[in-house]
A = this chain, B = another copy of it.
Amino acid sequence: MELLEKRILNDGIVKEGNILKVDSFLNHQIDIGLMNEIGKELKRLFADKHVTKILTIEASGIAIASIAAQYFNVPVVFAKKAKSQNLDGELYTSDVKSFTYGKQYTITVSKKFITEDDKLLIIDDFLAVGNAMKGLIDVANQAGASVEGIAIMIEKGFQEGGKYLRDNGFNLQSLAIVDSMDNGQIIFRKQ
């Protein structure tokens, strides 16, 4: 998606350790106009899918999932990263090793909100090694829901998450794929 690639080139900051900071428009401050353009693009990409629910994970995925959900006219469910005393009852859980935070956590989704009748579009902001996404797919599988598509804002093409998902037959659409960030220069994969 050209609009997103341009924004990444203009406002993204490459940091040591292959970190791409997009906190000025995507995951700390959020440009809602851009999110709407992304929402429209996701509807175009998944127009032939009968999505019943959008699944994402707190926190950065919630904004784009919520805006995009308007174009699909479906609810959003976000997986939680910590058990709270407010989230009881029957839960789907999956363990995720975080690349960004360098530690393990458990994601939880209430069984009430994903069922075998659901056709899910899973949305997240970043895809790198893919551990969070594997956790979300695991939750979908536990529920018996189908994964109609996976939408990622920024895929780090030099890490293995995207290849894993494509090799396993998922309909993965990454709006921008960064193939390298060597010396701070961002190279996008042609799509």
Chain A interface residues (CB < 8 Å from chain B): 15, 17, 19, 21, 23-25, 28-33, 35-36, 58-59, 62-63, 65-67, 69-70, 73-78, 80, 82, 84-88, 100-102, 109-110, 112-113
A-B contact pairs, 9 of them (CB 8 A): A28-B78, A28-B87, A28-B110, A33-B73, A35-B66, A36-B70, A58-B58, A62-B62, A66-B67
Q: Check if A69 sits within 8 Å of B32, measured CB to CB.
A: yes
Most buried by B among A19, A76, A77: A76
Please measure, in the bound complex, the distance between the C-alpha atom of A96 and the C-alpha atom of B35, giving whole angstroms: 30
Q: Assess the B24–A113 pair: CB atoms within 8 A.
A: yes
How far apart are the CA atoms of A19 and B87 in the complex, in Å?
11
Known A24-B113, A110-B23; contact A63-B76, beta-carbon cutoff 8 A? yes
Q: With A28-B80, A33-B73, A82-B101 given, can you name 5 additional A-B contacts, CB distance below 8 Å?
A: A29-B77, A30-B75, A30-B77, A30-B78, A62-B66
